[in-house]
Structure 1
Amino acid sequence: MKFFIDTADLDEIREAASWGVLSGVTTNPSLYAKTGGKLADFEDHMVKICSICEGLPVSAESTAETTEEMIAEGKRLASLAPNIVVKLPICEASLPATHALAAEGIRVNMTLVFSAPQALLAARAGARYISPFVGRFDDIGDDGLAQLETVINAVQNFDYGYWDEEGGPEIITASVRTPNHVTQAALMGADIATVPFAALKKCVHHPLTDQGLVKFAADWKKVVEG
């Protein structure tokens, strides 16, 4: 399974990239707002992310509301850098926009997916990536992982034809909160997990690993001090 980082913070992206595990970046308006970014700087900020992650897919989300506006904004975003992926929310307006953009070879990440029918429609319209959410189901007392498994099984039952050479559409597990979300997504066969940096750091650590490091350091100190 591939790891994307779900952030617009340049420092977080640089650090995650330095680990050698990063396969892409996803952003959204809320994540960009958290950086204190301004509207006038948005496209330049996306270009900076793309330069940090050269050759890796970087999802930049459209805020357009109509099909025509989504197509126009999608083309503009895709022109910023060759690794830009246009992120669109699943809705009636975004399906024809996805179809039109895919026909021109522009990759779309369909986001805010919460059901198998939504995912299947996104795949049929030509989405390169489909992002079912996990944590937001948990927030309302539902089982986000069960919903994710349903989406994965449904989408992987069929061939779609748009991205055969690239192997798409790929399922991006989104709204990831815990290492267990990552584990279960991997076991289910999700292609990608897009993970906030705080959750990504949690994936590195384990209490037994931390205890082992302390013990190794203490034992080595005895050796050094003779």
Structure 2
Amino acid sequence: MSNQLDELRKFTTVVADTGDFQSMREHRPTDATTNPSLILKAIQKDEYRPLLDQTIQDYPNASTSQTLDHLLVKFGEQILNIVPGRVSTEVDARLSFDTSATIERARHLIGLYEKEGISRDRILIKIASTWEGINAARILQNEGIKCNMTLLFSMAQAVACADANVQLISPFVGRIYDWYKKNAGSQWIEEDNAGVNDPGVQSVTRIFNYFKKHDIKTEIMGASFRNKGQIIALAGCDLLTISPELLANLAQSNEAVQPVLNAADSGKLDIEPIETNETAFRFMLNEDAMGTEKLAEGIRAFVADSIKLDRIIEQARA
């Protein structure tokens, strides 16, 4: 009998949300995603420390930021030896509000991959879904550099990304769920907000329906899951990026999985197009307290982990 992970693969492309190579080998995802927090977690394990040591040895005169980029690419190279598809590599979150610097860093990362003989078709450059980040992605996409827009919590961000013709967006299911649960406090009833009623699931569903209704080619990849129920409720989404723990939970379960999202059904819905200029984007995001707060919080968290990575690199060089 097949398990839930195998069943999910019939409807959705499974992606590993980790820097853990062993988990990828075990669960056989198509793609993999990384971010500063995941790389920080991995590099503190003994089995991954040699990657940092080798990076410093190979590039002794590189600055801390250059060393970090080389380290990200080394992780990406190893991941691409395991997965058949793509790896997502993130631009430093400290550049989230700087369009030109984001473009420069993205080009640099792609250049490092190409020097190693890795085609840009196998790389997704992750960029925070700020207005500046989306503008950077628009330019990069025109250069053939495919972008994965991360820290996405709202329809305003999703529609602006679609208008920029980005390759992929990553709406964060779990962090949306966290916000609504925290705000509800003692009024929160878990059973009433589970599965298709989960606010994070509902957010991705709205984006999915909008994109499919308007024949938008940008891929949708649900991310940041807190439990298996959120994943099962989004079966049928283009892609889902899943942590090792939840991949293991799915692999250990034989419960049935049925497609929940369906592009044909979405096409029958009555959904009006949404305006996508900068003024409309900023106002619509401002009206969304959850989206505004979680975007800012997410950038701060990634910046904090990038600073920790810098310190580890500097200590290793000492």
* Higher mean C-alpha deviation, range 140-149 or range 89-98: 140-149
Amino acid at match of 2:17: D
Which has the larger share of strand? 1
Structure 2 unaligned regions, length at least 5: 1-11, 44-48, 53-67, 182-198, 257-318
**Aligned position for 2:75:** 45
The match for 1:33 among 40, 46, 49 is 40
Amino acid at match of 1:118: Q
Mapped to 2, the partners of 1:76 and 1:51 lie a distance apart of 21
**Aligned position for 1:147:** 203
Amino acid at match of 1:202: N
The secondary structure found in structure 2 opposite 1:35 is: helix
Mapped to 1, the partners of 2:238 and 2:126 lie a distance apart of 17
Calculate percent identity across the aligned residue pairs.
30
The secondary structure found in structure 1 opposite 2:88 is: strand
**Superposition map of 1:117-156 within 5 A:** 117-142=156-181, 143-156=199-212
The match for 1:14 among 16, 22, 25 is 25
Alpha-carbon distance, 1:141 to partner: 2.8
Alpha-carbon distance, 1:13 to partner: 1.9
Conserved 8 A contact 2:126-2:150: yes
Q: How many residues align?
A: 195
**Aligned position for 2:101:** 69
**Superposition map of 1:1-226 within 5 A:** 1-17=12-28, 22-36=29-43, 38=52, 39=68, 41-54=71-84, 56-63=85-92, 64-65=95-96, 66-79=98-111, 80=113, 81-82=118-119, 83-142=122-181, 143-160=199-216, 168-186=217-235, 189-206=236-253
Over the aligned positions, Cα root-mean-square deviation in angstroms equals 2.0
Tell me the TM-score normalised to structure 1 length.
0.80
Give the number of the structure with larger relative contact order, counting CA–CA contacts within 8 Å between residues 6 or more apart.
2
Mapped to 2, the partners of 1:47 and 1:156 lie a distance apart of 33
Structure 1 unaligned regions, length at least 5: 161-167, 210-226
Tell me the TM-score normalised to structure 2 length.
0.58
Mapped to 2, the partners of 1:208 and 1:199 lie a distance apart of 14
Alpha-carbon distance, 1:16 to partner: 2.2
Which has the larger share of helix? 2
